[in-house]
Chains A and B, each alone.
Chain A
Amino acid sequence: MHYVIIGNGVAGVTAAFALRKRDPHAEISVIGGESDYFISRTALMYAFMDRMNLRDLEPFERQSYTKQNITLLRGWVSALDASSRILRLADGRNLSYDKLLLATGSIPNPAPWPGLATAKSGLVNFVSLQHLAECERLAPTTRRAVVAGGGLIGVELVECLHHHGIQVDFLVRDAWYWPMALAPEEGELIADHIRHHGVNLLLGHEITEVKTDTNSRVSAVRTSQGGELPCQMLGACIGVRPAIEWLREVQTPPALGRGIKIQSDFRTSLPNVWAAGDCAELPTGQVEQIWYSAKRQGELAALSMLGDTVNYTPPLFFNSAKLFEIEYTTVGVRGAESFFRRLPGKNVSIRIMHDQGAVTGFNMLGSRWNHTWFEKWIHERRDLPYVLKNLHLAQFDVEFGRVSLSALGVAS
């Protein structure tokens, strides 16, 4: 049995280890185009900020792969023939498989702005190691930068550039910061925090045109509000999408939508081919694109490949982030009503959403929480008074640093 996995990101590598755990003898190969070894994409920002070396980004010691007898191949796959179960790499190598997992992840959405056609440099993304290298190449000659897009990658890039002493204009289309996740109060809290660091956060701004200098490097952007912002670097952090373009060119493409269409057991429309992680589109049409979902899907896809019955539906949503110094924990979904409190004068707030007597979700900023309790209460359909009474159980702040719930207005 030869398992081949395309993609050495968290979904692919998690799947490889999960396969090995159950099948000690099979041949397992993982193909990666971006790097020789699995790296943690989430730590790119720390590499950019000099807090880690590239080698530190590898979550597993290199010897783990040899110990687990997992073959790592560097290269990009250019051809897939599902009828004869053969892959071809761009460098001409052929590889046959018995079972194949597509875990190709995401690529940045392309920047749509007029004027970019003449730009040869200065435009950056912040998703891959190659993007990191480009950012590091440009940063020393950059005094001002513009970053567009108010998601997590955007704020990470802003923090990195700011760390290197670059004046950043941070353009966000929405009326408040990150409306997909935050209500206006929290959005304002985060916006204040970002501005407090000296970053020029411009809400309700979009780029309408990109200008370049005589060397074809980005030199300024014009915004929807009519202003012009000089910059030597332009970060396009306007979301990611499944990395599936290459599959449109192959001999036997699987059914594609926004991503690779899969059934609830991670099988694609092709025989003996599975897909998992950011590149997979669930039967509901949903594409999950966070670290946690990729890890979870990789593990379950491996079980499906091993012959287990798998029926995946995304669990209760949870996520976390750090926006400059403010930590963010979220669980669940919005409700009709919400209980919001902010610690006066501090970047600490809690929001507990509820609907028809049952809590549905939590949005916590600036303090630490063990989300396992939140999940439990949502599953148990607890009401708000119960949750408030037990809220202290979920606190996860450092010793001596526990946030005072009574100061937050939660009587306990």
Chain B
Amino acid sequence: MIKPGAAHALLHSIKNRGLAAWVLAALFTGFYLVLYFTEWFSPLAQAIGLGSKWTLYGTLYTLAVTAGGIHVIRKYRHNRYQVVRTIVVIVVQATFAYSIPMLLKFLHQPEYYLSYFWPLKLDYLTPSYIFSLPLPFIIYSFVGSLVLVPILAAFFGKRWYCSWVCGCGGLANTFGEPWRHLSDKSTTSWKIEKVTIYAVLGITVVLTALLFISYGAGKANPQLVRTTGEFQSYYGLIVSSLLSGVVGVGLYPLGGTRVWCRFACPMAALLGLVQKVGRYRITVKKDMCISCGMCSKYCEMGIDVRSYAQANQSFTRASCVGCGICSEVCPRGVLNLENVSSRDPQESKLIQIQEVAATRPLI
């Protein structure tokens, strides 16, 4: 039901794929197209003393995360997980993804984003780029991308990155809050997601391997260097610009906030695989679900959480970014995010109870 009043009707339209949502999606998409493929923003950026359009973009992005984050903190102020997580998201964005790179540049160091890693940021394992940086950056990139990120994901799930650190996730969980419920919950979209996201991951891995090969053996094989270069520029255009920017944010008001994270992000794909064998899971309290569906409705990754909850099934889905909103909106406190440690005797007792529950008949 829509309350009378123009402001409410407009808000309803924006949040529920009404006309206003389509207009806004067009504006967002247009903004990204102009940003990526023209220089129209450059004079504006220089006029207000921000140097380049990318600095202007970074400033807007940080402002959006901060303003949206404050809204989210107020909205979920009774939930400590949401408050802590959102504060971290804002701080990481404002420092690692904004002021530190600017400071580095000011100090005539490479403009390096400490919160980004391969495979999300292909450059950071692109040998021709990364080996041109000072040694500490090389070490940070390799250790971070190949060791630190997966190990933390094994212990805490991909959430430590996807909804605590990552800028894409940060924007989704702050500025994107009004649209989180628009993700498609159907089994069909789950099937599509599994194909597309692992396809992108595969392409990213192959490209990275080619980049290393052509870096090492390029002199002997100029054709390989040329082909790899073309491959890389198509990748940059399609994956980095179109999918993560134009589609990823442009579709917020129509497809929800995690379209990029869910269907295309190679980092999410990789960490999802780690998550499946790691400790993170969503624990379902036995027999307490009332099938209301709030969890599924507000899952930004389109996971049908209710189907697990009403079947008494604790679960780990590769796509789950651990935002914790399913647990927040559940009116009966059925769901809880946990890092299950089999070495903790208290935990294992609980798991036994849960597993008995899980073997009961369906629904």
Residues of chain A touching chain B, judged by Cβ–Cβ distance below 8 Å, are 10, 14, 17-18, 21, 40, 42-43, 46, 48, 50-52, 56-61, 63, 136, 139-140, 164-165, 291-292, 295-296, 299, 318, 320-322, 325, 327, 329, 368-373, 376, 393, 396, 398-401
Contact = CB atoms under 8 A, between A and B. Distances in A.
A50 B12 contact: yes
B291 interface: yes
Contacts of B78: 325
A299 B1 contact: no
Given A21-B361, A320-B332, A371-B285, A59 B293 contact: yes
B26 to A, nearest CB: 24
Contacts of B187: 61, 63
A270 B206 CA distance: 69
A50 B324 contact: no
Given A14-B363, A61-B186, A396 B1 contact: no
Interface string B80-113: 1111100000000000000000000000000000
Contact of B3 (A10, A60, A165): A165
23 contacts: A17-B362, A18-B361, A42-B291, A42-B292, A52-B294, A61-B186, A136-B1, A291-B291, A292-B288, A299-B361, A318-B288, A320-B332, A322-B332, A327-B331, A327-B333, A372-B350, A373-B353, A396-B333, A396-B336, A399-B324, A399-B338, A400-B83, A400-B84
A398 B186 CA distance: 27
Contact of A164 (B3, B287, B290): B3
A237 B362 CA distance: 32
Interface string B351-363: 0011001000111
Contacts of A139: 1
Given A398-B327, A399-B81, A40 B4 contact: no
B293 A327 contact: no
B74 to A, nearest CB: 14
A57 B294 CA distance: 9
Nearest to B309: A59
A392 to B, nearest CB: 8
B1 A398 contact: no
Contacts of B306: 59
B310 interface: yes
Given A139-B1, A372-B285, A393-B346, A322 B293 contact: no
Given A51-B297, A370-B285, A40 B290 contact: yes
B292 to A, nearest CB: 4
B336 to A, nearest CB: 6
A57 B291 CA distance: 8
Contacts of B310: 59
B328 interface: yes
A320 B293 contact: no
Contacts of A165: 3
B353 A376 contact: yes
Interface of B: 1-4, 12, 78-84, 186-187, 285-288, 290-294, 296-297, 304, 306-307, 310, 324, 327-328, 331-333, 336-338, 346, 349-350, 353-354, 357, 361-363
A295 B286 CA distance: 13
A376 B353 CA distance: 10
B291 A40 contact: yes
A396 B79 CA distance: 13
B2 A50 contact: yes
| Pairs A-B, 10 closest by C-beta atoms | A401-B80, A43-B292, A368-B333, A400-B80, A322-B331, A59-B291, A42-B290, A320-B332, A136-B1, A398-B81
A52 B80 contact: no
A296 B80 CA distance: 34
A43 B333 contact: no
Contacts of A43: 290-294
B288 A40 contact: no
Given A18-B361, A321-B332, 9 more contacts: A40-B291, A42-B290, A61-B186, A292-B290, A299-B363, A318-B287, A320-B332, A368-B333, A398-B80
Nearest to A135: B1
Contacts of A18: 361-363
B361 A291 contact: no
